[in-house]
Amino acid sequence: MASTRCVCPGDRLGASADFVAGPGVYNHSQHLLAESLGFVQIVQPGVAASDQRPSISVSRRIASSALPKPGDKVTCKVLKTNPRLALVNIVCVGPKVLEEAFSGVIRRTDVRATEIDKVEIYSSFRPGDIVIAEVVSLGDARSYYLSTAKNDLGVVYAKSVAGEVMVATGWETMICPVTKSVEKRKVAKK
C-alpha cells in the first residue's frame, strides 16, 4: 500500500518495535529513519509470516512527465557552493519524486528579494542542505536557474558540523540541538 507522504533523509518514520525496516529505511536508537528522499510504503505481513509487524520502506516513484518549468516549486540538494552561486540537484518537482535528478543553479542575485548586494552564498546554503526553490527559467544547456527569494523558499533540512539535524531559529539562522552552535542559512518560512 503506497503513501503520498514524501520524506527526506533522516525523517522519523516510526518505532522499530512497531515496524520491520524495509528498503530505504534504517534503525537508529529504536527509531526507523528514512535513508533517502522518497515516498513511504507500508506493507502488511502475510498470514503465515513469523513476524506480524508491517514492513515500512521508502521508495522513489517515477514521475513520468515531471519536468521542471518556470514557476514550479522544486526540492533540491545542494552539491557545491562558490561565492557566486550554489549548484544543486533537483530531486522533486512539487510532490513528484524524479527518477533522475536535474542540475540547477541558485545565483547570488536570486537568494533573496532584498539587500541582494549583501548576500553571501556560504551564509545561505551549504553542501548537503535540502532546499525548496522556484524555477526561474530553463537556464543554459547545463542547469535550470532557481530562486529562493520568497519567504516560503529556502533551506528546509540541514545538518550541523556535528552531524545533527538542525532546527530553524529565525529567517537566517539554524541551531544544532546537541552542540548549540548557530549556523547561517536562508531558511524557508514554514
pLDDT at 175 (0 to 100): 92
Q: What is the pLDDT of residue 129?
A: 94
Q: What is the pTM of this model?
A: 0.67
The Cα 5–Cα 34 span in angstroms is 12
- 107 and 47 part of one domain: no
- What is the DSSP-derived secondary structure letter of residue 100? E
Do residues 50 and 85 share a domain?
A: no
Residue range 72-104, pLDDT digits in tens = 999 999 999 999 999 999 999 988 888 788 899
On whether both 48 and 113 belong to a single domain, the answer is no
CATH number at residue 42: 2.40.50.100
DSSP-assigned letters across all residues of 105-165: EEEGGGS-SS-GGG--HHHH--TT-EEEEEEEE--SSS-EEEE--STT-EEEE-B-TTSPB
- Once rounded to an integer, what is the mean pLDDT over residues 105-123? 87
165 and 80 both lie in a single domain = yes
**Does 167 map to a domain?**
yes
* Domain total of the chain: 2
For residue 155, being part of any structural domain is answered with yes
Tens-place pLDDT, residues 47-72: 777 888 889 988 876 545 567 889 99
Q: Which CATH number do you get for residue 138? A: 2.40.50.140
Higher pLDDT among residues 168 and 139, named by residue: 168
Is the domain of 55 the same as that of 79? no
Domain that holds residue 162: 73-184
Q: Is residue 190 part of a domain?
A: no
> Which among 166, 101, 170, 158 is positioned nearest to 125, based on CA atoms?
158
Tell me the C-alpha distance between 157 and 7, whole Å: 11
Does 155 lie in the same domain as 105?
yes
- Please, which pLDDT band fits residue 112 given cuts at 50, 70 and 90? confident
Looking at the predicted structure, is the pLDDT value of residue 185 above 60?
A: yes
pLDDT band at residue 4, thresholds of 50, 70 and 90?
low
Would you list the DSSP string of 35-92?
Answer: SSSEEEEEEPPPTT-S--SPEEEEE----TT----TT-EEEEEEEEE-SSEEEEEEEE
Gap between the Cα atoms of 111 and 109, Å rounded = 6
